């Protein structure tokens, strides 16, 4: 039986300011339109591929400064962008993960190379950097991924730290709501989940982490079961939000466990797991899910989460709770 292909993406959850909403929504639409041909090829004789689709969608957002991935990534305390990503396919449970890359625009594609060109799953730091260069990825000039917004966000973070108003590992949604003019966003990771006509599920997630992180900090994004997971028998999940919270709660696996063992719908599982995470650990975040039957789940406990998906001829998108828009593809 043929499955209806779906491509679902997120552009990050967190304290997204009003000024950044239009750029995120437009960026997600562009990402979906640039990737959909990989999932639903114009030539009906060709087969769509979920793995190609999620990589293409994330690559598009890695090029867009409206997102915290690739170009536009958050900066660490030293003013550097250290990027990380993971990608996974649900048929054979193959995956590739990378972390602590510098001046590499597309960590998601490096992660796919790790999956397909090595017997390993995870590479990090200088070894991952060397691997990327050996396989033809461009070493961009120092600071090429850094934007003016990211610099301002780091300076603002340091100013708040100096006044005792911000601590890196103790951010709460109350703090975010009290400081809506903050330039930076914590946890505005990008991700994509897709299911193709054959029922194959793939997930890709990419991030620059959080503003003001310690050099060498690794978040949830490259960790399987936390930021990314895909299993054709159950579903696929990509998460976003406060990384320390998500990795401690194992959010992606919590969602899939509710689907597999509690017979919850994709939406119910996503909502329950996100709420349970924030109730237990205070930190906020969100997730996008597609289950093995092609049902979707979208939920977040942060102030906002940017999301969009294509199903059939409709492009659906939103960023606030209780608010959703659609347009013809």
Give the residue among 251, 192, 254, 187 at the shortest CA–CA distance from 219: 187
> Is 297 annotated as contributing to ligand binding?
no
> Is 240 annotated as contributing to ligand binding?
yes
Neighbours of 1 (CB within 10 A): 4
> Is 199 annotated as contributing to ligand binding?
no
Annotation marks residue 118 as catalytic: no
195 three-state secondary structure = strand
> Is 106 annotated as contributing to ligand binding?
no
- CA–CA separation, 318 vs 300, rounded Å? 12
Q: Which of 99, 121, 167, 189 is catalytic?
A: 189
For 149, the enclosing helix (H) or strand (E) is: helix 148-162
> Is 33 annotated as contributing to ligand binding?
no
**69 and 82 Cβ atoms separated by less than 8 Å:** no
- CA–CA separation, 254 vs 245, rounded Å? 13
Specify the residue for token string 């090829």.
41
φ, ψ of residue 111 to 5 degrees: the values are -60, -40
> Is 167 annotated as contributing to ligand binding?
no
> Is 59 annotated as contributing to ligand binding?
no
Give binding residues as ranges. 217-220, 240-243
Q: Catalytic residues, which ones?
A: 189
Residues annotated within a binding site for substrate: 217-220, 240-243
């Amino acid at each position: 039986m043929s499955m209806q292909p779906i491509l679902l993406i997120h552009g990050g959850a967190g304290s997204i300011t009003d000024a950044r909403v239009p750029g995120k929504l437009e960026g997600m639409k562009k990402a979906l339109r640039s990737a959909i041909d990989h999932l639903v090829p114009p030539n009906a004789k060709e087969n769509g591929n979920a793995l190609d689709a999620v990589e293409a969608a994330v690559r598009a957002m890695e090029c867009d400064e409206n997102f915290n991935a690739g170009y536009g990534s958050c900066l660490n305390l030293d003013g550097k962008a250290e990027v990380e990503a993971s990608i996974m396919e649900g048929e054979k449970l193959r995956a590739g993960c990378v972390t602590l890359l510098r001046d590499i625009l597309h960590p998601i594609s490096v992660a796919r190379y790790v999956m397909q060109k090595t017997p390993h799953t995870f590479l990090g730091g200088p070894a991952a950097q060397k691997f990327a260069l050996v396989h033809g990825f461009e070493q961009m000039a120092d600071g090429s991924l850094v934007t003016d917004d990211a610099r301002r966000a780091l300076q603002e973070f340091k100013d708040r730290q100096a006044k005792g108003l911000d601590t890196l590992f103790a951010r709460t949604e109350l703090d975010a709501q009290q400081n809506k003019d903050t330039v930076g966003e914590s946890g505005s990771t990008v991700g994509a989940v897709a299911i193709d006509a054959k029922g194959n599920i793939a997930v890709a997630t990419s991030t620059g982490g959080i503003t003001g992180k310690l050099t060498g900090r690794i978040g949830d994004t490259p960790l399987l079961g936390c930021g990314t997971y895909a299993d054709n028998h159950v579903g696929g999940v990509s998460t976003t939000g406060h990384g320390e919270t998500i990795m401690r709660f194992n959010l992606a696996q919590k969602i899939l466990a509710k689907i597999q063992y509690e017979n919850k719908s994709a939406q119910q599982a996503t909502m329950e797991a996100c709420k349970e995470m924030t109730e237990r650990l205070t930190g906020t975040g969100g997730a996008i899910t597609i289950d093995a039957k092609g049902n979707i789940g979208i939920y977040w406990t942060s102030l906002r989460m940017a999301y969009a998906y294509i199903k059939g001829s409709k492009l659906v998108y939103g960023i606030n709770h209780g608010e959703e828009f659609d347009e013809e593809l």
